[in-house]
Amino acid sequence: MPTRTANAVWEGNLKEGKGNVHLGSGAFDGQYSFKSRFEEGAGTNPEELIAAAHAGCFSMALSNGLASAGFTPDRVATTAKVSFGQTPGGFAITKIELDTEAKVPNIDEAAFQQQAEDARKNCPISKALAAVEITLNARLVS
């Protein structure tokens, strides 16, 4: 399996400095700053990139689990919300909320929920972030 890379450069102090994140594939290159991380400023931040990775990984894992169980999905759409804040030990990711909806022919609710829960626990990004509470809201749509 390939090793994926990204790099980041930060210039200056925390509050007035600025940074840039670049994915090794070239698919994304973006700025980040204190304001984009701790406030609502322009640019991205590490938590948003984690949310994107988690949403993508979960959607793929759920699709694979469903197909392996004999239910090929038409569509799986996931939003990940990564909460970041002050904790007694400093700033940390405090919670991740996965919200997914899937169009899956011929599956019942119980089987769908079981596959969704399995994906929540077992997608590689969930495993990497296991120290954080990860919640799931999964809906079947027609």
Tens digits of residue pLDDT in 101-140: 999 999 999 999 999 999 999 999 999 999 999 999 999 9
Claim to verify: residue 28 and residue 93 sit in the same structural domain? no
Claim to verify: residue 51 and residue 83 sit in the same structural domain? yes
Q: Which strand (E) or helix (H) includes residue 50?
A: helix 46-68
Residues 6+ apart with CB under 8 A from 87: 94
Region 84-110 average pLDDT: 96
What is the domain extent for residue 132? 46-140
Domain contains 1: no
pLDDT at 20 > cutoff 90 = yes
Claim to verify: residue 64 and residue 20 sit in the same structural domain? no
Specify the pTM.
0.94
Claim to verify: residue 131 and residue 81 sit in the same structural domain? yes
Claim to verify: residue 34 and residue 51 sit in the same structural domain? no
Give the confidence band of 142 by pLDDT, cuts at 50, 70, 90.
confident
